[in-house]
Copies of this chain bind each other. A is one copy, B any other.
Amino acid sequence: MKKTAVLLYPQFSEYELSVALLILMQGNKPIVTVGLNDQPIKGESGLTCFPDTTIHDVCKHEIDSLLIPGCMDIGTLIHEQDLFNFIKYVGTEQTIIASISSSPYLLARAGLLKGRKYTVGLPFEKLGEIGVFETENYSERVVVQDGNIITARGSGFIRFGVCLGKALKLDFDENWYLED
């Protein structure tokens, strides 16, 4: 089975990823964590992670989906041209892309939000200034799916994970978090 590539960068949000990762695991979907380089990466809440591979080394043919966490300060990534190139390279119509919180900025920079409905965890008033978002396609919904692209605000992290699991047609218990 092809893998879901999980992007990791400094100050990534652990909780925004966590339920999506759980659902991928429940659905027996293999993952590969992908860093900007091979160095340890500290998340916003203090977990230090090691990526399995890097954006330079991951094999595109092994992956069919991309999971992108938010970043406490997405501004730290604005010069990472190799990251935008990677997202553009893997972000074909055949790839399921799930991007939460501030990270749809990365999709916009990679040109993947053109003509797509999306949401993002950034203030709407700022989107025009930032210059890469089509403001007319912005949605206030917490989770938005337009074709192969899922976007969500951070607070929607549970439904975001559920939406990714369904888009990948995984077999998982959608209501696990409601159980005792």
Contact = CB atoms under 8 A, between A and B. Distances in A.
Interface residues of A, number: 33
Contact of A50 (B13, B33, B50): B50
A179 interface: yes
Which label, helix, strand, loop or mixed, suits the secondary structure of the A interface? mixed
Nearest to A8: B47
A38 interface: no
Please tell me how many copies of the chain the complex holds.
2
A155 to B, nearest CB: 5
Contacts of A15: 15, 18-19, 21-22
B176 A155 contact: yes
Contact of A33 (B19, B25, B48, B177): B48
A135 interface: no
Contact of A14 (B14, B44, B48, B176): B14
Contacts of A48: 33, 49-52
